[in-house]
Amino acid sequence: MIQTTENTIKQNATVARLLHHMASGYKYLGNQERFRAIAYEIAARTVNNLQADISAYAEDKKALDQLNGIGSSIAEKIIEYLKTGKVKKYEELKQQIPEELLDMMDITGFGPALVKVLHEQLGINTRAELLKAIDEGRLEGIKGFGNKKIENIKRGLHLFEEAQSRLLLWDALLAGNKILQAIRQFPEVRKAELAGSVRRGRETVGDIDIIVMATLKDQKKLADKIQKLPGIVRILAGGDTKVSLLLQNQTQVDVRIVTENAYGAALLYFTGSKEHNVRLRIIAREKGWKLNEYGLFDLKTDKYLAGKTEEEMYRYIGLQFIPPELREDKGEIDLAAKNKLPVLVTLKDIKGDMHLHSKWSDGEEEIEALARYVMKTFPQYEYLVVTDHSPSERISHGLEPDDFIRQFREIDQVNKKIGRDFIKKGVEVDILADGQLDLPDDLLEKFDWVVASIHSGLAQDNTQRLLKACEHPAVNCIGHPGGRLVGTRDAYPVNWRQLIDKAAATGTALEINAQPGRMDLQDDLVKMAIDKGVQLVIDTDAHAKMHFDLMQLGVTIARRGWCKKEDVLNTISWREVTALRNKKIKTKRKH
DNA sequence: GCCGTTTTCGGCCCGACTGTTTTCAGTCG
């Protein structure tokens, strides 16, 4: 059976959601069921993070049982769901708690206790009913419901609507760094860093976490100053050590102010992920210690053992330092214990950008201006491959074959002028509906580098088109393979196993496109690709000077996919790149 | 409901902040 990753993700997400709902149900039933609720929550998380398709386990209870947090009972329920589409136990739960009520427990500030009061005392089962009850003033006078509480309920409902659109990683990085810089200006601040999912490089971000180091006596003063920074529309919480702010774009920023001894501990704690931290705390516990956001302590004597830096803490616990991008409890802790973590690719390893556009098609800059800007801004780069569009891309001023020949001459002249062979001749060629390319083979072989991309037929399954493009001897790389725009347009269906196997077999690279809305390949597919030995290329797809900064974003995605320097093609010299290209053209010609 | 290099029973991560109540429950991360 052909199973695409997109379907896998959906199927796994459906099962995870069911388990999450059951967890919420048990939370609702009260304290005596809380551990059962936690168990379901962990199982939901495991299924959500599963690489393989959950339905592959349908016949294999033992394999399910092996998974973290899934035992005999939950395994049976998963199998029951996969076979019948229902779980009897969940149907029973829904008799006691309407499903919409379970959904409401996902709203910020809404826990089981609140939802229970709404249901039992006011007969409210849905968000719509709650909004109506608020309008009619029916919440007032209920025990425990003061003005502020009702305000918080309203805000939670409002945020829930907004939360559908989480911040893209790049936007979060920009916003986070801006406020970070402002905080660093205060003389009381000794150190400050981003934490949370931004630091881990998650592709969308809910809120921004910042850890600040200050002396004990400065904490309160600093907390007050931070609350008065410009650009803040609201203070959500303001204690001595924790400040929560709402920015104009409705992004929440949580700032924690800690002392020197706790800085590493706080950074570790608030970088997460939650699952990673829970694992660390269990390890600490086994050794007779206690791990919290203030440090590592002896459980019996409460003696402080470590906490100034993350490095110190990992070392003390007996682990290699784990880069933030890997902290997802996906096997990194076991490898760190054996000192076998991969050495991840860094921005410094990158030797060039291999997908970008000039004024010849839809870019903003002349080739010479691009060359001069990049040589100055990224002195470590050894090459820049200009890859303008091919004829089919009318809307982007795709070039005709003759145009490319003229562009070749211009590139030669620019290289002569700048005194080095810096600009390479490339193309982003369109993959047509039938998998053919829209430039003739003899021209394609004249390029130094060929990226092939799909820009049409974005709803259909495009596996066959991509496979055919990989087989073309002149194609070196598939551009933005998934075709998605985060939050705007879903990826087209692709059988990723097939594409990755084909890319590996034909020596075709897959691109990590670092445009903020693309991030394509995404991190889990990156991991899948490198596990099969596929070469990746990290590209900015720059259309303007400022886009070259996006290389950092691409590197972050690669790191989240466990990429080493060796997995990334644009970390090698141009001579080696050319050797690979020649090898593909030669081998394919023989067939 | 899950899990086990002291355990197949008896644990299960932990502290800050909020709002409302007057000593704490609820929620979050």
Least confident of A299-313, A387-401, A551-565: A387-401
Same domain for A142 and A291, yes or no, is: no
Residues A550, A433: Cα–Cα separation, whole Å: 30
Same domain for A495 and A386, yes or no, is: yes
Same domain for A456 and A320, yes or no, is: no
How many Å is the maximal CA-CA distance in chain A? 83
- Name the band, by pLDDT with cuts 50, 70 and 90, for residue A127: confident
Is the model's pLDDT at A5 over the cut of 50? no
Distance A11 CA to B14 C1' (A): 34
Nearest nucleotide from residue A76 CA, by C1' atom: B1
Nearest nucleotide from residue A71 CA, by C1' atom: B2
Distance A320 CA to B5 C1' (A): 22
Same domain for A142 and A205, yes or no, is: no
Position A228 in a domain? yes
Residues A314, A105: Cα–Cα separation, whole Å: 35
- Name the band, by pLDDT with cuts 50, 70 and 90, for residue A529: very high
Distance A394 CA to B19 C1' (A): 60
Give the list of residues 6+ apart from residue A437 with CB closer than 8 angstroms, or none.
A390, A429, A430, A431, A444, A452, A469, A472, A475
Is the model's pLDDT at A522 over the cut of 70? yes
Is the model's pLDDT at A363 over the cut of 90? no
Same domain for A274 and A397, yes or no, is: no
Greater confidence (A296 vs A5) lies with A296
Which of A164, A191, A206 marks a domain boundary?
Answer: A164
A327 Ramachandran zone, left/alpha/beta (phi>0; psi -120 to 50): beta
Share of chain A above pLDDT 70, in %: 96
| Chain B bases having any atom below 7 Å from a protein CB | 1-3, 11-21, 25-29
Residues A447, A408: Cα–Cα separation, whole Å: 9
Residue type, A423: I
Residues A585, A460: Cα–Cα separation, whole Å: 30
Residues A157, A160: Cα–Cα separation, whole Å: 5
- Which of these, A77, A50, A45, A85, lies nearest to A61 by C-alpha position? A77
Summarize pLDDT for A152-187 with one digit per residue, the tens.
888 888 777 765 557 889 989 988 998 999 999 999
Position A1 in a domain? no
Is the model's pLDDT at A113 over the cut of 50? yes
Is the model's pLDDT at A467 over the cut of 90? yes
Same domain for A140 and A171, yes or no, is: no
Nearest nucleotide from residue A37 CA, by C1' atom: B1
The per-residue pLDDT for A316 is: 92
Same domain for A387 and A515, yes or no, is: yes
- The domain in which residue A10 lies consists of 6-164
Which of A134, A164, A194 marks a domain boundary?
Answer: A164
The per-residue pLDDT for A567 is: 97
A252-258 and A207-213 beta bridge pairing:
parallel
Position A445 in a domain? yes
Question: Which tokens is A319 given?
Answer: 């682990």
Q: Kindly report whether the global pTM for this prediction surpasses the value 0.85.
A: no
Distance A321 CA to B18 C1' (A): 36
Give the list of residues 6+ apart from residue A571 with CB closer than 8 angstroms, or none.
A345, A349, A350, A351, A565
Same domain for A100 and A139, yes or no, is: yes
Determine phi and psi for A351, rounding to 5 degrees. Answer: -105, -5
The per-residue pLDDT for A490 is: 67
Counted domains in chain A: 4
- Name the band, by pLDDT with cuts 50, 70 and 90, for residue A4: very low
The per-residue pLDDT for A142 is: 84
Same domain for A434 and A549, yes or no, is: yes
Greater confidence (A445 vs A63) lies with A445
The stretch A220-239 carries a mean pLDDT of: 86
Position A400 in a domain? yes
Share of chain A above pLDDT 90, in %: 56
The rounded mean pLDDT for chain A is 89
Question: Which tokens is A113 given?
Answer: 């206790």
The per-residue pLDDT for A51 is: 65
Give the list of residues 6+ apart from residue A576 with CB closer than 8 angstroms, or none.
none
Please answer whether residues A241 and A256 qualify as being in contact, where contact means their C-beta atoms are separated by less than 8 angstroms: yes
Same domain for A405 and A529, yes or no, is: yes
The per-residue pLDDT for A395 is: 67
Is the model's pLDDT at A116 over the cut of 60? yes
Which of A341, A360, A380 marks a domain boundary?
Answer: A341
Distance A141 CA to B21 C1' (A): 15
Same domain for A411 and A499, yes or no, is: yes
